[in-house]
Amino acid sequence: MVQIPEHPAPTSTPQYSVPTSADVARLAGVSRATVSYVLNNASAVRISEPTRRRVHQAAKELGYVPHAAARSLRAGHSRMVLMPAPAVPVGPLYSQFFNELQWALSRFDYTVVQYGSVGLQGDEAARAWAELRPVAVLVPGSGLGPQGVAVLKRSGARAVLTLGPERVEGAHALLMDHSVVGRSAGAHLLARGRRRIGVVMPEDPGLDIFAKPRLEGVRQALHGTGATLTEVPLAYEEQSAAQLAARWRALGLDAVFAYNDEYAMLLMRALQDEGIPIPDETAVIGADDLMLGRLLRPRLSTVHIELPSGQELAELVDRAVRDFGAPPGTHEVLGATVLHRASS
Amino acid sequence: MVQIPEHPAPTSTPQYSVPTSADVARLAGVSRATVSYVLNNASAVRISEPTRRRVHQAAKELGYVPHAAARSLRAGHSRMVLMPAPAVPVGPLYSQFFNELQWALSRFDYTVVQYGSVGLQGDEAARAWAELRPVAVLVPGSGLGPQGVAVLKRSGARAVLTLGPERVEGAHALLMDHSVVGRSAGAHLLARGRRRIGVVMPEDPGLDIFAKPRLEGVRQALHGTGATLTEVPLAYEEQSAAQLAARWRALGLDAVFAYNDEYAMLLMRALQDEGIPIPDETAVIGADDLMLGRLLRPRLSTVHIELPSGQELAELVDRAVRDFGAPPGTHEVLGATVLHRASS
DNA sequence: TTGAAAGCGCTACCAT
DNA sequence: ATGGTAGCGCTTTCAA
């Protein structure tokens, strides 16, 4: 289970020990109960104004800060929403989404905590999270199995939500099916009259969870149209792009969906250096709608991705927590819109 | 102090209550003490092999997960390193640095938790953090005052480290003085023979904490050389860049440090659209060494920024925790190197 | 080798 | 209006 390694004892004792509510009570000349009532604005009991003042004064004087662990231990539950930090370095899109979510959840009086679980595998990670007894767990990406969900629920988590490509038994699913991105891109390229379509596959294996569904989406869009699909591996390096560009004409493609805008920019530059006219000979489309794509010449077409608003998601979490008897639901939360610019 | 709003009672009771070590003890037919010994591999006591097996078996059967809050309450301390999530959306540089740090700290058996404190102000935030009784707090950016540091320390935090532009009384400082970035850029432009130097100031006020020191660094580099410095406000939008470019010649600048690579790319495109040759008429240098800067024509010169390694930082944190009697130290942790490419 | 029990800081019930 | 106190889950002496 859990091992507590030994750590050296403090080299010196703190001059002041941490003040507790008992200290506040002593200083104010009241009982611990009264302190608790006052500091929590308990509505069930009425405390006289002078007493309140004395307590507040004493608390301030001592620099008293309540002990969250003790409180939630006593209460039997917490308002902590735990969110494992995604292992893959994610873009600004996600960062912003996360901040928004955090803000929205705090409006519901939840405390959002991002837990770094580097190096832990699957169910082992779930156990580590469960030790914190969060009221809800919001898991990005894949990597949590039904076992993990069960562990969390048995440990009192009232809602487990996954943000990822697939449903997990027992958990609410916020399906972020990236195939819709590929479908949009594929459909767009078809509509532009392209027939021999390449799809960039980043060589960074960490990106597979996004890249594979996007590829699959393109495949779906092309299905039954007679258009061909060619996977094009590419590392996020100039040299890799140059090599690819050198053999580009041999691939015989008239369009390429470049996984995202960054890869698109990398590839586009290499193709242009090779003298391949865009979009005439090869159309290029990216994804993520980065500002920088607009600066290219020709301007980069892209698939704009809509994540759910933090507000919506926070409501979903709150509802799941409150109706935690209800069966877990599934929500499609990824939108995709093609922004047609000059490169396609 | 802290207000606990009321929340509706559970709509239904969980079918199974969360298993405790007492449940494990009961099922295994031993005492709670024995369970604790077994699950924590206590070296002080020897437990017979059959008993161990029974305990492990029972724990597994019940899906027992220890309660971190109860444990740290009893222990009187935790191994939690708390890191407030930076309010400003930060780039991939920081994300990677953070992951590395997290990993390194986990090697020291710390649990890293990122706490989202959106909407909390200064010392209020510090109190919220202090409620969690972290053993160490690692605060990025500015925003924590001496008061806040005191609150944290009085609440048992054995180390408070700030990652930011300036020292804070009582806290260890990992000084990330961005003026070194500006100094490098300024010195480089001077060395290239430029004399009328512009410095892009992003209009996003959240970036001021980086932008102002960078500006100051340029000022320092130019000091006493007779070169002039002009602040150039720019929003991260094409239109803003276009407007700036339109009046560029009137500014009479022969070089510009563009805050970072993204702003540099934005500006460079606008200048080129305006027919201003780079670097002949105006030299451009960015910062952050983004891959995408290499794709521009001319290739973008940049200031490569070196953050400290996660390993180093983890060691620093660990030492600070262990020798928490020692006076807080100051460490310069930002390096800057100019990568001269074609744009300057 | 194992068990009984105290107590970490806090809140909520029940007295007064 | 205020105080006494039990008990949340856990670890760790001390006794047996």
Nucleotide nearest to A19 (CA to C1'): C9
Residue B37 predicted with pLDDT over 90: yes
Cα angle: A312, vertex A314, A319; to 5 degrees: 95
What's the CA gap between B69 and B162, in Å, rounded? 26
- Which has more pLDDT, B20 or A9? B20
Q: What single letter denotes the amino acid at residue A197?
A: I
Q: Which long-range contacts (CB under 8 A, 24 or more apart) does B35-42 make?
A: B35/B59, B39/A1, B39/A2, B39/B66, B40/A2, B40/A3, B40/A4, B41/A3
pLDDT for residue A8 is more than 60: no
Residues 6+ away with beta carbon under 8 Å from A275: none
Higher pLDDT, B117 or A2: B117
Q: What is the pLDDT of residue B176?
A: 92
Number of alpha carbons in the 13 Å side-chain half-sphere of residue A127: 14
Please give the residue of chain A at the shortest CA–CA distance from B157. A18
User: Is the pLDDT score of B165 beyond 90?
Assistant: no
**Beta carbons of A94 and B28 less than 8 angstroms apart:** no
User: Which of residues 139 through 168 in chain A touch B, CB cutoff 8 A?
Assistant: 150-151, 154-156, 158
Residues forming CATH 1.10.260.40 domain(s) in chain A: 21-66
> Smallest Cα–C1' distance to nucleotide D8: which residue has it?
A74
**Are B343 and B191 spatial neighbours (Cβ–Cβ below 8 Å)?**
no
Q: With bands split at pLDDT 50, 70 and 90, how would you rate the model's confidence at A6?
A: very low
Counted across chains A and B, CB pairs separated by less than 8 A come out at 198
Q: Are B13 and B20 in contact (CB under 8 A)?
A: no
| Range from A152-161, A174-183, B84-93, B306-315 carrying the lowest mean pLDDT | B84-93
Q: Residue A168 CA to chain centroid, in angstroms?
A: 16
Answer with the residue of higher pLDDT: A193 or A96.
Answer: A193
Contact between the CB of B68 and strand D at under 7 Å: no
Phi, psi at residue B257, to the nearest 5°? -100, 120
- Model pLDDT, residue A235: 98
Q: How confident is the model at residue B89 (pLDDT cuts 50, 70, 90)?
A: low
Q: Which two tokens stand for residue B109?
A: 């058996």
pLDDT band with cut points at 50, 70 and 90 for residue A339: very high
pLDDT tens for A24-43 read 999 999 999 999 999 998 77
Q: What is the least distance, in Å, from the CA of A94 to any CA of chain B?
A: 10
Looking at beta carbons, which residues of chain B come within 8 Å of A64? 1
Question: Which comes out higher in pLDDT, residue A116 or A21?
Answer: A21
In chain A, the percentage of residues whose pLDDT exceeds 70 is: 94
Residues of B in contact with A112 (CB under 8 A): 115-116
In 3D space, the residue among A331, A308, A332 whose CA is nearest the CA of residue A101 turns out to be A308
Buried b / exposed e along B46-80 (16+ C-beta atoms within 10 A)? eeeeebbebbbebbeebbbbbbbbbbbbeeeebbb
Q: What local confidence, expressed as pLDDT, does residue B227 receive?
A: 98
**Where would I find the beta strands (DSSP E) of chain B?**
80-84, 111-115, 136-140, 159-164, 172-175, 196-202, 228-234, 255-257, 283-287, 301-306, 330-332, 335-339
Cβ contact, residue pair B325, A11, below 8 Å: yes
Residue range B248-276: average pLDDT? 97
Among residues B165, B161, B255, the alpha carbon closest in space to that of B209 is found at B165
Tokens 């819109």 belong to A337
pLDDT at A97: 85
**A263 at the B interface (CB within 8 A)?**
no
Token pair of A71 as six digits: 């409180």
For residue B100, the distance in angstroms to the closest alpha carbon of chain A comes to 9
Residue A200: in which H helix or E strand, if any?
Answer: strand A196-202
* pLDDT number for residue A16: 62
Beta carbons of A244 and A278 less than 8 angstroms apart = no
Q: What pLDDT is recorded for position B16?
A: 62
**CATH code, residues B21-66:** 1.10.260.40
pLDDT at position A169: 94
Q: Is B47 on the interface with A (CB under 8 A)?
A: no
Q: Say whether pLDDT at B95 is over 90.
A: no
What residue spans in chain B does CATH classification 3.40.50.2300 cover? 80-175+308-333, 178-306
Q: How confident is the model at residue B116 (pLDDT cuts 50, 70, 90)?
A: confident
Q: Are the CB atoms for A281 and A254 separated by under 8 Å? A: yes
More reliable by pLDDT, B146 or B96: B146
Q: Which range scores top for mean pLDDT: A11-15, A106-110, A195-199, B103-107?
A: A195-199
Contact across the interface for B109 and A7, Cβ inside 8 Å: yes
Chain C positions within 7 A of any protein Cβ atom are 1-14
Query: What value does the mean pLDDT of chain A take?
Result: 91
- Chain A residues lying within 8 Å of B19, measured CB to CB: 154
Residues A185-196 have a mean pLDDT of 98
User: In A 287-326, which Cβ lie closer than 7 Å to strand D?
Assistant: none
pLDDT value for B5? 40
Q: Which fold has domain B80-175+308-333?
A: Rossmann fold (3.40.50)
DSSP state of B207: G
β-sheet bridge partners, residue A286 = A302
The reply to whether the CB atom of residue A96 sits less than 7 A from any atom in nucleic acid chain D is no
User: Residue B328: is its pLDDT beyond 70?
Assistant: yes
pLDDT > 70? residue B14: no
Residues by CB within 7 Å of nucleic chain C, which ones? A 18, 20-22, 32-33, 35-36, 39-40, 42, 44-45, 64, 66-67, 70-71, 73-75; B 4, 29-34, 37, 45-48, 50-51, 70, 73-74, 76
- CATH code for the part of the protein at B178-306: 3.40.50.2300
How is A143-177 classified by DSSP, letter by letter?
---HHHHHHHHHTT-SEEEEEESS--TTSEEEE--
Model confidence at B94, in pLDDT bands (50, 70, 90)? confident
Res A344 pLDDT > 90: yes
Q: Of the ranges B37-51, B158-172, B298-312, B317-331, which one carries the lowest mean pLDDT score?
A: B37-51
Whether residue B298 has a cis bond before it, omega within 30° of 0: yes
User: Using the beta-carbon criterion (under 8 Å), do B114 and A116 form an inter-chain contact?
Assistant: yes
d(CA B8, CA B11): 8
What is the CA B93 to C1' D15 distance in angstroms?
Answer: 58
Cβ distance of B69 and A69 shorter than 8 Å: yes
**What pLDDT shows up at residue A46?**
84
In this model, does residue B215 exceed pLDDT 60? yes
Return the top range by mean pLDDT from A113-122, B66-75, B84-93: B66-75
Q: Which residues of B touch A260 (CB under 8 A)?
A: none
Of A116, A59, A57, which Cα lies nearest the Cα of A82? A116
Out of A65, A103, A115, name the one closest to residue B131 (CB). A65
User: Hey, how many other C-beta atoms are within 10 angstroms of the C-beta on B256?
Assistant: 33
* pLDDT level of residue A258 (50, 70, 90 thresholds): very high
**Which of A143-152, A237-246, B90-99, B102-111 is the most confident on average?**
A237-246
Q: How far is the CA of A75 from the C1' of D6 (A)?
A: 14
- What is the average pLDDT score of chain B? 91
Interface test mutation site (partner B, options A11, A15, A67, max chain B beta carbons within 10 A): A67
A65 and B96 in contact by Cβ < 8 A?
no
Selection from B331, B209, B214 nearest residue B264 by Cα: B214
Q: What local confidence, expressed as pLDDT, does residue A11 receive? A: 36
Contact B69 A113 (CB under 8 A): no
Distance CA A210, CA A177 (A): 9
Residue A7, pLDDT score = 42
pLDDT at B202 over 70: yes
The answer, yes or no, to whether residue A12 has pLDDT greater than 80, is no
Asked if the bond preceding B213 is cis, omega within 30° of 0, the reply is no
CA distance A165 to chain B (A): 23
pLDDT computed for residue A173 by the predictor: 95
For residue B342, the model assigns a pLDDT of 97
Q: Evaluate if residue A1 carries a pLDDT over 70.
A: no
pLDDT at B238 over 50: yes
pLDDT at residue B2 in the model: 36
